[in-house]
Structure 1
Amino acid sequence: MEQTVEAPKDYEDLIRVIHDRYGEMSKSYQKIALYLTQNPNDVAVRSVNAIGETSGVHASSFVRFAQALGYDGFKELQSLFQKRLSTAAPGFEARVKALETELGARTDRSELGFMHDLVVRDIASLKEMLTAIQPKDLAEAVSLLEKADVIYLIGQLRSAPVVELLRYILTMLGKRCVLLDPGGGLATHMARAMRKEDVLFAVSFRFYANEVVNVVEEAAGRGVPIVAISDSTLSPLAKSARVLFAVPEHEYTFSRSLAAPMCLAQALTVALAARLQNNTINPRIPTVTER
């Protein structure tokens, strides 16, 4: 990553530069970029040593990263995050601490204690999503799904449950959908049937499934609109998506929680049902009843 002639002057410009240069960065710099974009409030208030310890990257690398962008040091870069913080919503860790105060901090290592930790973090993620997701992105995604002739779905590994839920709801709503199932190695071949009148809905989180990334890039190259749920605006899905919903994973736990991605997927289908049924009061999935 070459040193810039002039460092970005504000937070928005900094994020744009990071996005533009992300593909050229070393792996350690990419890890720093992910942390900066996913945890802007923490970056504003924590020391570089604390940030380095949390992110797993040495503090000196953050300093060099800042200098490579044209700043004298990390504090100069950090000042952009501090200016942003004055108008920003509370960050993830602040939400966790508030919830621990409200619900009580975990005091044991019992089975209930594990559940307590997961519930607190999931509530914090859901609250953060309310402020992070843009209304125009929701509206555009629902419009794409509504107009699509066929909705293709792809998500593998820990993303698979999200697209399975989407397949169920979309089918019950009467929308034609195809799950690009990796079974039999046919997903890539099935994806070639997609047309510009269709939509590809892709879900992928770190570490991104290669087949999902390849299908998304190939579909985008043929002009197929893409709606994506991923963990970062620096995700390999970002450059191809017409609409990208970034649902950050702030810290690895036992396994990635799907509470926020599942809620987002369901919110999109509820909004779609409201349009299809011309019912903004109580749209519903038709139920299957016994004869």
Structure 2
Amino acid sequence: MASKGFRIDDFLAGWVGGASSVVVGHPLDTVKTRLQAGNGYQSTMHCIVTTYRKETAAGFFKGMSFPVATIAAYNSLVFGFFSNVQRSICKRRYGDERHPAGLADVAGASMLTGLVSVSVGAPVDLVKIRLQMQTAGRAESFQLAGSVSTHGVTAAPAGARSLHVANAVRDLNVYRGPVHCIGSIVRHEGLQGLYRGGGAMLLRDVPGYALYFVPYVIFCDLLKSDGAASPHACAIWLAGGLAGSISWVTATPADVVKSRLQADAHLHKKYNGILHCILHSYKTEGIQVFFRGATVNAIRGFPMSATMFLAYELSLQFFRHF
């Protein structure tokens, strides 16, 4: 695994790091998503309290099974692609893939990584967000469907009314899980529906990954002991956490647009695209809407990224012993 050229150990270490980070960060990710989608929460604490009162602690872990399975694979792609591209850049520029990468090299590899990551990340994020936004229980959904179905058709026969209720419940997209969610999206919106919000994700991730990996490299160099070949585990943890907070806070405006587009239900679509979402959000809620969830992003970004980078680096050391 330690041979020159393409390496698979970066992909394996990225998988471990990704799985570890999901478990740490998912509860706050749920809060962030609900705040950004604009469901009437007054603040971060109001969202947390409301979620807990209505759904108990389980509400914070909605949609986690899918990210655990997929974000591990997603981060495997991100870290594996980034590391291999960075080595390719060094080999082309300096004639040796082991040559230390400059910040420009890191930034270039990061931005290419952000571009490629959307192909996998957009569907993963979409399903996660649709499941996280599902705040109503089934009983509430049937009650709502019943009220919708009988509005203006109270004289309809019982059989027709029952069919109308069943159709309304189906159309409310009460997802039974990730697989049902994917099937429902494809059925109602086509395959392209899985990439709703993909353009906004590009706006977030292309610069976002540059502001993720570059600060990590800088902080690792600053925190590394004099004469040490590599930073200590504590330095990796701190550097990763700081880089994650910086990246997520600066990416918040694009993340708000992406979350709103992806949370937008097919049957009650509110936004026609990125520009319409930006203009509509600004007109109705002001400039502050694009910084909604920034506090959660800063707090959540630290432990998630700290765990990610530490698990990645330790796993990489383990795999390269073979």
- Fold match by TM threshold 0.5: no
TM-score band w.r.t. shorter chain: under 0.3
Please identify the structure whose Cα radius of gyration is greater. Answer: 2
Which structure carries more relative contact order (alpha carbon 8 Å, separation 6+)? 2
Q: Which has the higher strand share?
A: 1
TM-score by length of structure 2 reads 0.23
